[in-house]
Structure 1
């Protein structure tokens, strides 16, 4: 699988990871247009690369993105921001563009400065060997605790949309401990691009909630090169982005740290989409429920207890709950025998009927396992 037309990239093992794995990548848009949009973490504590990329986004053009794993460059003070600026300038000088057209993304351990001599040497090495067939390498270079690269691609009307993403923990709104770059060679209308991309991210990446934690570095960037010459309508743009980002989001939750279950929480007949999201998210963040799912215990009372904490309008005495297609609760009381529910498989579906309107939403989460606790108890050591 290659990049869309107008994009090329490279990746190296710069020595940011002790494992010696790929940890630095640069993606360049050399097409006739540099249309862009981006969505960032909602965390008030943000990494220097997030601050930098938010600033350059105001210029309306992104020609290149440099991404590293092996260090978040978050909570690193003025020196961390200076290092981000230097990173962008080094990439810009090597590619012959402005530093204000270079987005910077980092992921890894918080509170430590990046080894800039390794970063700068890696950048110089990459810029000498950019190619159109390095998509897999770029996807691997941004991995941290991920076990596999995340890539999604879709063709429509002679144009191509391709995205990469990373993230395996702290998967919660907004976004996750995730980085993602989505690229297209279509010609897009810039007028509504940011609005459309924000809406897409809200309905894909922001509908996964593995552990209720929000990172300092989350960044999702969209770049359009226009190299295919195909003009795409706003509706086709949104639909295609939903497919690509939806696939990436599904891959993220399927690779979440320590999980043994992949859980879909579908809320139907809500008074509003926001209500449906709130109820689904309340369940996704309930540790008692997640522990029950890990243990294969169809304890539907924990679902009702969790959804009752949501800031949403519904009749708490009239909610139906199904667990793997067994309606275990009718009108907030006992339903079919819970022993009919088989939770032995990897995939678990929870269906919640609020009976309050016509809106719906689905949140995806995982169980809470021993492996998740173990992996996150020693992340910095």
Structure 2
């Protein structure tokens, strides 16, 4: 049931007519309380869509009653008209649910530079509001998909009676600053907004922010966490953060597995780095190497491309002390050839690259995918 697994939430997904395919394209999630604490993290792209600008204002007081999301259009670079559409959408949700528009988050995803039809959005809000239900989580997860091939959902239930549920969309432009994703997380734990914020930032730092499919950052990314308090349980922040992090990693892996046209899911694990930042920078450099990603697509364990990518960073390491293993075969030891690359099997979808910098004791893992013909084709025709 994803976002409706936690007590105190209802959701719906409906057809507003924003997609030419006639698929569901508008989702609505309402927090019934008794609490309405919330937090969110947003894209770090300076070019932000109208819904991001609106939602950043709404979330400032840590209180949210509902969130409405549409696919079929990003409402980005659509000027004052686009912002008015966002405002009107929030007002429509507020009027229908009997809440304040200032407590309604708005999210959009799709093509940049196209106006959204307000009449269809408003009709979609009316339809979704009438269909809100505790079992509507899956429909809402379907409604936020764009190029996704399947909805992404996850649930974690604690032993002491509180639950976290979540849904996500995203299949391309996956890079830090949250990737091109919309994520809604709900919990019936009774926690204030500041605790939710600390937990969410800790969780996204090692999950969504470590997903780097193609190095491209979206204008519409938003991860939202809503708390109803309906369980009556106030867990320790450490326990809640661990559970939230696990759920976010689950959703991040689902996003990675559905990356547009990919044929390999690649985990780049950097170990023994001088700092977490160094480990992340080194791993991300490999994840953004088109040469490396093309080699994996061709089942070629070209470890030289790994070293070449790491060498472009300012991470602390001795270039001639690095070890590299691919799918369990140590193809490079201390900057020299070791086991034969012919021993590496890249036919499975899962690929694990282990890079040992021998410079410290810190680790980070970056998730990416290979560069395929299908990825190029899909993104060459996205607007058509």
Give the conservation status (yes or no) of the 8 Å contact 1:253–1:366.
yes
Aligned counterpart for 2:173 among listed residues 160, 164, 170: 170
Matches within 5 A, 1:254-265: 254-265=257-268
Structure 1 distance, partners of 2:59, 2:33, is: 18
Does structure 1 residue 358 correspond to structure 2 residue 361? yes
Structure 2 distance, partners of 1:307, 1:191, is: 37
Tell me by how many angstroms 1:196 deviates: 2.1
Question: Which residue of 1 is the match for residue 245 of structure 2?
Answer: 242
Tell me by how many angstroms 1:31 deviates: 0.9
Tell me by how many angstroms 1:65 deviates: 0.3
Does structure 1 residue 290 correspond to structure 2 residue 293? yes
Q: Deviations over 1:268-321 (max 9, x none)?
A: 000111111101100000000000000011111000001111231111111000
TM-score (norm 1): 0.99
Q: Deviations over 1:34-91 (max 9, x none)?
A: 1111111111101000000001111210110000000000011111111101110110
Question: Which residue of 1 is the match for residue 23 of structure 2?
Answer: 21
Question: Which residue of 2 is the match for residue 374 of structure 1?
Answer: 377
Give the conservation status (yes or no) of the 8 Å contact 2:145–2:169.
yes
Structure 1 distance, partners of 2:352, 2:175, is: 19
Question: Which residue of 1 is the match for residue 8 of structure 2?
Answer: 6
**3-state SS of paired residue (2:307):** helix
Structure 2 distance, partners of 1:193, 1:372, is: 36
Aligned counterpart for 1:335 among listed residues 313, 332, 338: 338
**3-state SS of paired residue (1:120):** helix
Structure 2 distance, partners of 1:311, 1:124, is: 53
Matches within 5 A, 1:1-381: 1=1, 2-156=4-158, 157-381=160-384
Structure 2 distance, partners of 1:251, 1:197, is: 18
Point out where structure 2 has 5 or more consecutive residues left out of the alignment.
Answer: none
Structure 2 distance, partners of 1:245, 1:311, is: 29
Give the conservation status (yes or no) of the 8 Å contact 2:13–2:128.
yes
Tell me by how many angstroms 1:353 deviates: 0.3
Tell me by how many angstroms 1:191 deviates: 3.3
Tell me by how many angstroms 1:3 deviates: 2.8
TM-score (norm 2): 0.98
Structure 1 distance, partners of 2:262, 2:133, is: 36
Structure 1 distance, partners of 2:372, 2:130, is: 44
Q: Deviations over 1:114-169 (max 9, x none)?
A: 01100001101111221000111000000000001000000012011000000000
**3-state SS of paired residue (2:44):** coil
Tell me by how many angstroms 1:333 deviates: 1.4
The answer to which of 299-308 and 193-202 deviates more is 193-202
Structure 1 distance, partners of 2:84, 2:174, is: 28
Tell me by how many angstroms 1:263 deviates: 0.4
Tell me by how many angstroms 1:11 deviates: 1.4
Q: How much is the aligned-residue C-alpha RMSD, in angstroms? A: 0.8
Give the conservation status (yes or no) of the 8 Å contact 1:189–1:234.
no
Point out where structure 1 has 5 or more consecutive residues left out of the alignment.
Answer: none
Tell me by how many angstroms 1:237 deviates: 1.0
Aligned length: 381
